[in-house]
Amino acid sequence: MVKVTIDDKTIEVELGTTILSAARQIGGEVVPPAMCFYSKLPGTGGKCRTCLVEVSQGSEKDPRPMPKLVASCSTPVMDGMVVKNKTSERVHEGRGGVVEFLLINHPLDCPICDQAGECHLQDLGYEHGGQGTRYEEERRTFDPIDIGNKIKLHMNRCILCYRCVAVANQLTDKRVHGVLNRGEHAEISTYIENAIENDFSGNMIDVCPVGALTDKTFRFKSRVWFLKPMEASCECTKCSGKAVVWMFGNEIFRVTARKDQYGEVEDQDGKAGWICNDCRFDKKDVSKWNIAGPRMINRHSVISQGHYQSPRQSIKKIN
């Protein structure tokens, strides 16, 4: 066990833990945002640089600070390490720069995008982004394409986090999409418009931090904040069958996996609760689901707007 201090909060963690997961164990304000890192998908992280933190003391034995900001998702902790996240001016400035870079080619079509309201880039831009852009060149543009008959790819919005590639590598047996070309020209593609048909391919919609991969069965149906997320389960042979159904009145508009506060799927029965494509795309009938009750949504999230909770419910929670 090693001791690490993040923003004046000290915690003991296992050797080999990254700074980000140590911060998540503390929880709250000290957790750096992450766009490409996904704890349920090994091998992700280290690409987007939004989780930059300042290490003001390398370790107990070697107290020199690290000269540059480090990506907390891929830097393991050392004994006696002191990390600054919220308290560091450099981190704030550096993250602002990262957001500016991420937004260079991002179209800012939030009024159209289905991800708006639960988009990590929106949250990040809200916290760290600038008022305007200094970029004067043309943004790169692509036409939205269908990959499979249930998933729409808007390459314009992609920030190349590679999460969906990790999903394809780790959840499905044969990967049929990936990233083509390099640098400025990199794009997610199936090369020759190949259908993505694997049973778990729909999870790439859930892991996408922006609205690049969206559910075609939900496309433009409604805005997320008009829907009511309900915890539901169903009999499914392929997956755990535990999901969140997003309802409007008595209709199910879309189905997603249950996600935690960091936007990652929650564990169900001891393993990551990925849901299969049947549950996600085809079960839109209320009778097929066992609806347990409303899902707890952060009070400050736009999704909780208009969902009034009776005080009795909150009192019950306190007790």
Q: Which residues bind other proteins (CB under 8 A)?
A: 109-112, 116, 144, 219-223, 225-226, 302, 305-306
Shortest separation between residue 267's beta carbon and other proteins, angstroms: 33
Produce one character per residue of 298-318: b if its CB has 16 or more CB atoms within 10 Å, e if not.
eeeeebbeeeeeeeeeeeeee
Shortest separation between residue 231's beta carbon and other proteins, angstroms: 24
Q: Which is nearer to other proteins, 223 or 259 (CB)?
A: 223
In sequence order, which residues have a C-beta less than 8 Å from that of residue 240 and are 6 or more positions away? Answer: 268, 269, 271, 273, 275
The strand pairing partners of 290, in sequence order, are: 233
Q: Which is nearer to other proteins, 306 or 311 (CB)?
A: 306
In sequence order, which residues have a C-beta less than 8 Å from that of residue 44 and are 6 or more positions away? Answer: 36, 37, 38, 161, 162, 163, 166
Distance in angstroms (rounded) separating the CA atoms of residues 289 and 2: 45
* Token pair for 249: 């009145």
Q: Which is nearer to other proteins, 105 or 203 (CB)?
A: 105
Q: Which is nearer to other proteins, 156 or 172 (CB)?
A: 156
Shortest separation between residue 223's beta carbon and other proteins, angstroms: 4
Shortest separation between residue 306's beta carbon and other proteins, angstroms: 8
Q: Which is nearer to other proteins, 248 or 309 (CB)?
A: 248
* Token pair for 65: 């600070």
Which H or E run contains 146? strand 145-147
* Token pair for 270: 């001891």
Specify the residue for token string 């935690």: 260
Shortest separation between residue 308's beta carbon and other proteins, angstroms: 12
Dihedrals phi, psi of 254, to nearest 5 degrees: -155, 165
Q: Which is nearer to other proteins, 305 or 314 (CB)?
A: 305
State whether residue 180 is helix, strand or coil: strand
Shortest separation between residue 31's beta carbon and other proteins, angstroms: 27
Are 37 and 45 in contact by the 8 Å Cβ rule? The answer is: yes
Q: Which is nearer to other proteins, 10 or 305 (CB)?
A: 305
How far out from the chain centre does Cα 287 lie? 30
* Token pair for 6: 């993040």
Shortest separation between residue 224's beta carbon and other proteins, angstroms: 9
